């Protein structure tokens, strides 16, 4: 295990030295969640809790639940909640997001209980990438295409009417994601993330509102690195936790 610092030390995170580790995807997702003070936040597929804990650090009056199916990662998420002094605001729910709703209820994940769901779902389809021999890394990265529909359906179930879903996804998965959101979510905002200003996007930040009929919006791209390979001022501020990524 290692203990790492995120957002300039505002979040401490114990995570496995090997396997899937929190990185820029988690930082970007937490920065794109919009106003969350006073909200109940659910972090789907929370792993060790990186995204949910960064949302908590950014929005001191929000409360929430870290939803994780792997018992070992859920135990680390509980440890990280305590490490960051958030036991009075955040809890860990050990639940399979893709299980039937009745099973999720038994685990404590109630319908209409959240105003915001944030998630970094495993977004590489099986067979499209070389899978890691590490089980944790494999589970964090690879999920069957049809499982994304169940993931989004579960988010819609947990969200209250008008609640928001914010996620990060792969670029070539946009068409499938939009099809999955259709009929459940509207007011969809898509913001491409570029490694440099002259390079194609490598990720998409997507925000959507449950039950809305507002049209889709394509937002300006967010650029991570300048010509020198270092973070742009905007990306540096996001990683320090002093700036957010607008999705409105």
Residue 110 placed within a domain: yes
Calpha distance 166→154 (Å, rounded): 13
Segments of the chain assigned E as strands: 2-6, 11-15, 40-44, 63-68, 90-94, 114-119, 159-169, 185-194, 203-210, 217-218, 222-223
Residue 248 placed within a domain: no
Residue 130 placed within a domain: yes
Q: Are strands 63-68 and 90-94 parallel, antiparallel or unpaired?
A: parallel
Range of the domain at 188: 2-240
Residue 9 placed within a domain: yes
Instruction: Give the model confidence (pLDDT) of 18-67 as tens digits.
Output: 888 889 999 999 999 999 999 999 999 999 999 999 999 999 999 999 99
Residue 198 placed within a domain: yes
pLDDT band at 169 (very low <50, low <70, confident <90, very high): very high
Domain CATH for 150:
3.40.50.150
pTM of the model: 0.90
pLDDT reported for residue 122: 84
| Tokens encoding 127 | 């067979």
Residue 119 placed within a domain: yes
Distance between first and last Cα of the chain:
38
Residue 245 placed within a domain: no
| Tokens encoding 24 | 């820029």
Calpha distance 19→134 (Å, rounded): 6
207 or 131, higher pLDDT? 207
Counting the structural domains of the chain, the total is: 1
Residue 53 placed within a domain: yes
pLDDT band at 124 (very low <50, low <70, confident <90, very high): low
pLDDT value at 129 more than 70 = no
**223 CB neighbour count, 10 Å cutoff:** 19
69 or 19, higher pLDDT? 69
Say if residues 240 and 10 touch (Cβ distance below 8 Å).
Answer: no
Instruction: Give the model confidence (pLDDT) of 209-236 as tens digits.
Output: 999 999 999 999 999 999 999 999 999 9
């Amino acid at each position: 295990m290692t203990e790492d610092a995120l957002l300039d030390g505002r979040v401490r995170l114990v995570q496995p030295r090997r396997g899937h580790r929190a990185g820029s995807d988690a930082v970007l997702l937490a920065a794109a969640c919009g106003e969350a003070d006073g909200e109940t936040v659910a972090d789907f597929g929370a792993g060790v809790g990186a995204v949910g804990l960064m949302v908590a650090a950014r929005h001191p009056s929000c409360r929430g639940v870290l939803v994780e199916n792997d018992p070992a990662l859920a135990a680390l998420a509980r440890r990280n909640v305590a490490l960051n002094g958030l036991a009075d605001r955040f809890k860990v729910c050990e639940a399979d997001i893709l299980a039937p709703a009745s099973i999720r209820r038994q685990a404590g994940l109630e319908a209409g209980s959240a105003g915001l769901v944030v998630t970094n779902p495993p977004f590489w389809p099986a067979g499209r990438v070389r899978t890691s021999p590490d089980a944790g890394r494999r589970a964090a990265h690879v999920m069957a295409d049809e499982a994304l529909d169940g993931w989004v359906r579960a988010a819609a179930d947990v969200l209250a009417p008008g609640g928001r879903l914010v996620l990060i996804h792969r670029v070539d998965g946009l068409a499938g994601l939009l099809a999955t959101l259709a009929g459940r979510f509207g007011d969809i905002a898509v913001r491409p993330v570029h490694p440099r200003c002259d390079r194609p996007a490598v990720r998409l930040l997507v925000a959507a509102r449950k039950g809305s009929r507002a049209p889709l919006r394509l937002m300006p791209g967010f650029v991570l690195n300048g010509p020198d390979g270092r973070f742009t001022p905007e990306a540096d501020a996001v990683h320090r936790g002093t700036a957010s990524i607008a999705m409105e």
